[in-house]
């Protein structure tokens, strides 16, 4: 019984660590009551996981560009593939989505969200 429990725990932890390897990395560079600035790093094949941007003012700067798939939460909407180059900047609306690196290079983004008061 004890060995069965240990085996189950080992399989659970190995599955969890495998799942985490599929997620990109998020580093908060600055956060206060007015703004949040994060660095997002997506190695090839990783994704953000479904998340919501509730603030209406968001700018993303691509330190390292690449090919991204933007997957909306709403299944009635289609996914969108975008190709961005190093140094490109986009203004994006609030949304709920998953971002996936479907290209061949690592992508690094600096994202700034201005918080509503």
Instruction: Indicate the domain borders of the chain.
Output: 23-114
Predicted local distance difference test score (pLDDT) of residue 5:
38
What average pLDDT score do residues 22-30 get? 95
pLDDT-derived band at 116, boundaries 50, 70, 90: confident
In this predicted structure, what is the pLDDT of residue 93?
87
> How many Å apart are CA 33 and CA 51, to the nearest integer?
20
Look at residue 16 and tell me whether its pLDDT is greater than 80.
no
pLDDT of res. 56: 87
Q: How confident is the model at residue 21 (pLDDT cuts 50, 70, 90)?
A: low
- Of the chain, the percentage scoring pLDDT greater than 70 comes to 81
55-108: pLDDT as tens digits: 888 999 999 999 999 999 988 889 999 999 999 999 988 899 999 999 999 999
The answer regarding whether domain 23-114 maps to CATH 3.30.565.10 reads: no
């Amino acid at each position: 019984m004890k060995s069965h429990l240990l085996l189950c725990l080992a399989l659970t932890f190995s599955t969890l660590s495998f799942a985490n390897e599929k997620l990109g990395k998020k580093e908060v560079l600055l956060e206060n009551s007015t703004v949040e600035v994060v660095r997002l790093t997506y190695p090839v094949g990783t994704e953000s996981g479904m998340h919501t941007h509730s603030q209406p003012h968001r700018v993303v700067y691509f330190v390292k560009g690449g090919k991204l798939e933007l997957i909306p939460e709403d299944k009635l909407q289609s996914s969108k593939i975008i190709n961005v180059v190093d140094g490109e900047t986009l203004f994006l609306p609030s949304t709920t989505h998953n971002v996936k690196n479907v290209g061949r290079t690592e992508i690094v983004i600096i994202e700034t969200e201005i918080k509503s008061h």
